[in-house]
Amino acid sequence: MAIEPVIFYFFAVVLVATSVAVITVPNSVHAVLFLVLAFFTSAGLWLLLEAEFLAITLVLVYVGAVMVLFLFVVMMLDINFEPTREGFIKNLPIGIIVALIMVVEIILVVWPNFGLENYAAPAQQIAGYSNTKELGLVLYTVYLYAFELAAAILLLAIVAAIMLTLRRRPNSKYQDISEQVLAKKKDRLRIVKMESSPKAAPTSVQESEGGVEQ
């Protein structure tokens, strides 16, 4: 028995189940964790398609970086879950209508080309084929402008997000790091030479301790 279909159906079932869980579980931290699992299983599906670069990048970028920040933010929000449930029944008809429209749209787009017979099976790649290299060659030659444009837009988004949230407070105190780094031992430390033991024989323990403190 071929192992690929088994793996595919395993990942597919987990992917669908976790995707449903993302929008149904009440706890938002759980929802984020289900989303992480959904990303992970879709990476597994891509790996089955021999798209190892995309699969690993999905894990690296979305699971390893984006979702960590997401989780970070969601964990810090102290959400009371009761109010989020209010109005569920009231808004249900609108929700169902929107969902139905979406389903109809998806069917209209997908149906004409649905089915395995409409697509040729992808050719098996030869052993030395490097997915990463091919992708790099295409990205940096054929799609160079689109690629650079996407990079510039992302940079713009970063700068914009920082500018929107940056508030200059006049009274805040900063540390001057270069001044801290430049501090030398002699600026901070004063070495005082003193006798390790009093010359005269101490008469009592209290007296000798007092002598050291002076």
Partner 1 sequence: MLQVLLDIWNWLPELIQILLKIVVIVVPIMLSVAYLTLAERKVIGYIQVRIGPNRVGPRGLLQPIADGLKLALKEIIIPTNANRFLFVIAPLLVLAPALAAWAVIPFDEGMVLADIDAGLLYILAMTSLGVYGVIIAGWASNSKYAFLGALRSSAQVVSYEIAMGFALVVVLMAAGSLNLQEIVLSQQGSVIHWFMWPLFPMFVVYFISGVAETNRAPFDVAEGESEIVAGFHVEYAGMAFALFFLAEYANMILIAALTAIMFMGGWLSPFEGVPVLDGLTSWVPGIFWLLAKMGVFLFLFLWFRATFPRYRYDQIMRLGWKVFIPVTIVWIVVTGFMVLGEVGPWFDRT
Residue type, 96: I
Could you tell me how many residues of this chain bind partner 1 (CB under 8 A)?
23
Q: Which of 8, 45, 53, 208 binds partner 1 (CB under 8 A)?
A: 53
Regarding 57 and contact with partner 1 (CB under 8 A), the answer is yes
Regarding 177 and contact with partner 1 (CB under 8 A), the answer is yes
Segment lying near partner 1 (by CB under 8 A), choices 4-12, 80-88, 126-134, 201-209: 126-134
* 129 Rama class: left (phi>0) / alpha (psi -120 to 50) / beta: beta
Segment lying near partner 1 (by CB under 8 A), choices 72-80, 114-122, 147-155, 201-209: 72-80
Q: What angle do CA 38, 39, 44 make, to 5 degrees?
A: 95
Regarding 182 and contact with partner 1 (CB under 8 A), the answer is no
- The nearest distance, CB 71 to partner 1, in angstroms, is 6
Q: Are 140 and 147 in contact (CB under 8 A)?
A: yes
Nearer to partner 1, 116 or 177 (CB): 177
Regarding 69 and contact with partner 1 (CB under 8 A), the answer is yes
Q: Residue 62 and residue 45: Cα distance in Å, rounded?
A: 15
Q: Are 15 and 39 in contact (CB under 8 A)?
A: no
Regarding 149 and contact with partner 1 (CB under 8 A), the answer is no
Q: Which of 14, 45, 56, 147 binds partner 1 (CB under 8 A)?
A: 56
Q: Which residues make Cβ contacts (< 8 Å) with residue 192, sequence separation at least 6?
A: none
Q: Are 46 and 59 in contact (CB under 8 A)?
A: no
Q: Which of 9, 10, 72, 143 binds partner 1 (CB under 8 A)?
A: 72
Q: Are 36 and 58 in contact (CB under 8 A)?
A: no
Burial of 47 by CB count in 10 Å (0-12 exposed, 13-18 middle, 19+ buried)?
middle
Residues that bind partner 1 (CB under 8 A): 29, 33, 36, 52-53, 56-57, 59-60, 63-65, 68-69, 71-72, 75-76, 130-132, 175, 177
